[in-house]
């Protein structure tokens, strides 16, 4: 289980550079995709416990792949968050961060990666 903390807006707008190497071993720096934070309620369909599809702003998105899962919880937040996060790739290639708020029994779409 991973415990995450909030990061500043500057880190969302300018994420750290990743280092890659070409076929000749030359190093280059590539900036990963940008994100946009929404944190809006969504409806999620599950299959065998995994998100299979979700509906956001009246549009349905089918999940092509679950990229990762983590959970945050703890008393170090004044509101006592208990969230189960899922990073999914929807058909068409967009990557989304969804989370299930275990205290409120609600799903949210937190972030869209481009």
- In the predicted structure, residue 82 carries a pLDDT above the cut 80: yes
pLDDT of residue 75: 67
| pLDDT at residue 33 is higher than 90 | no
Q: Is the per-residue pLDDT at 55 higher than 70?
A: yes
Q: Pick the more confident residue, 15 or 62.
A: 62
How far from the centroid of its chain's Cα atoms is residue 82's Cα? 16
pLDDT tens for residues 8-23?
433 333 444 444 455 5
What's the pLDDT band for 25 if we cut at 50, 70, 90? Answer: low
Q: Count other Cβ atoms within 10 Å, centred on residue 75.
A: 8
Q: pTM (2 decimals)?
A: 0.68
* 66 or 4: which leads in pLDDT: 66
Bridge-based pairing of strands 27-30 and 18-21 is: antiparallel
| Location of structure tokens 């919880």 | 73
Q: How far is CA 4 from the centre of its chain?
A: 12
């Amino acid at each position: 289980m991973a415990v995450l903390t909030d990061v500043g807006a500057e880190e969302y707008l300018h994420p750290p550079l990743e280092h890659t190497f070409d076929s000749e071993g030359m190093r280059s720096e590539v900036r990963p995709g940008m994100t946009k934070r929404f944190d809006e309620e969504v409806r999620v369909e599950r299959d065998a416990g995994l998100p299979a599809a979700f509906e956001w702003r009246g549009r349905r998105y089918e999940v092509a792949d679950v990229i990762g899962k983590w959970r945050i919880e703890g008393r170090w937040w004044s509101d006592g968050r208990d969230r189960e996060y899922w990073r999914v790739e929807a058909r068409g290639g967009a990557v989304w961060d969804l989370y299930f708020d275990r205290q409120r029994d609600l799903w949210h779409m937190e972030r869209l990666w481009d």
